[in-house]
Amino acid sequence: MSEYEDYYLGIDGGQSHTTALVANAEGFIVGRGISGPSNHTREPGGRERLERAVSESVSDALRAAGLMERGFIGDFHFHSAHLAMTGEPEDKLEIVDQLLSAEHLIVGHDAPGALAGALASENGVIVLAGTGSVAYGEMQISPQTLREARIGGNGYMFGDEGSGFWLGKESLRLAIQMEERELPDGETIRTALLTHFKRDTLKGIAEDFYAGIISRDQIASFTTRLDRLARQNDEIAMRLLHQAATDLAELAEATVIKLGATRRRVQVSYGGGVFNSKLLLRQFKTAVKQLIPKAQIVTPYFGPDGGALLLAYRNAGKKISKQLLKNLSYAD
């Protein structure tokens, strides 16, 4: 077969990095490329970041597959391409359309790609918690009707409960509050924050965030150190992780309710760096089972990049067979 029939592209574009997967019609991944962030295009330099991230990740994947040695990625025609992107996809469609050539080209939110990957293209709910947080679900109501629901994803000012940014922000807020009131309980987390951000004062961290010197991703990166404190039985850290786990479980519950699936057995999965905390993940699973008694909690089958690739197959009308899933799993 020709290149017009053979190759499928899945892209997961996030706030920290962008991953492109190129696969053939049987589901074997033949090339992978990774580049920088491809988040909000309305921010200064956002369009340029998106163009660079897509161009670099796709060209690296095509070169790894031996399908392109040089030239413009738009010269290669995919049978189907799906881009699962953080932020609003409407802002990216025009840009992507100028970069890529595909018989079927879809630019969508990142959450459906993550769901497709986590549940191997089956129905259910996924809760994503990285720098931000969002829950997304799909439920097949009838052969012709797929119900979708999205809860959260409203950004760090108006949402993102339980996210990495929320955990970092709350850690700093509580530490400043306790320092101002001269409360001794905050000394451990205060020291951890100053060490992590390499600053002399807590207010210096806050001021540098407001000035744009410290990014949202950097605030979120404190989650790893917070988890370490929680494992050392620091009460503030344990309390924050427990609250985050509860908030994330409530996102899952709200999504199930919005889907009208409270009386159904529903699969619930998870993704994002916040869930690297085993303590938080354990508490999240406990909270989900309490809030959604019929939930079946599923360890993610594929990552969001694999999910974007599955959506590329689905968009082209290709059946997601057990054999295709098996072939795709060889890449993990």
Question: What pLDDT is attached to residue 3?
Answer: 44
Q: List, in order, residues 6 or more apart from 252 with CB less than 8 Å away.
A: 125, 127, 135, 268, 288, 291, 292, 295
Question: What pLDDT is attached to residue 44?
Answer: 61
Task: For residue range 144-194, list pLDDT tens digits in order.
Answer: 888 999 999 888 889 899 999 999 999 999 999 999 998 888 899 999 999
Question: What pLDDT is attached to residue 184?
Answer: 83
Which residue's structure tokens are 């619930």? 268
Residue 52: Cβ-neighbour burial (10 angstroms; 0-12, 13-18, 19+)? middle
- 79: enclosing H helix or E strand: strand 77-85
Are the CB atoms for 24 and 16 separated by under 8 Å?
no
Delineate the domains of the chain, giving CATH numbers in brackets.
3-120+302-329 (3.30.420.40), 122-300 (3.30.420.40)
Of all residues in the chain, what percent are helix, strand and coil, respectively (each to 5)? 50, 20, 30
Q: Give the pair of three-digit tokens for residue 188.
A: 């451990």
Question: What pLDDT is attached to residue 1?
Answer: 37
Question: What pLDDT is attached to residue 138?
Answer: 94
Q: Give the pair of three-digit tokens for residue 173.
A: 């807020």
DSSP 73: G
First-last CA distance in the chain: 26
- pLDDT less than 50: residues of the chain: 1-4
Residue 242: Cβ-neighbour burial (10 angstroms; 0-12, 13-18, 19+)? middle
The beta strands (E) that lie in 94-159 are given as 101-109, 124-129, 133-142, 145-152
Return d(Cα 281, Cα 42) in angstroms, integer: 33
pTM score of the predicted model: 0.88
Question: What pLDDT is attached to residue 2?
Answer: 42
Question: What pLDDT is attached to residue 331?
Answer: 65
Q: List, in order, residues 6 or more apart from 61 with CB less than 8 Å away.
A: 9, 20, 21, 22, 31, 32, 33
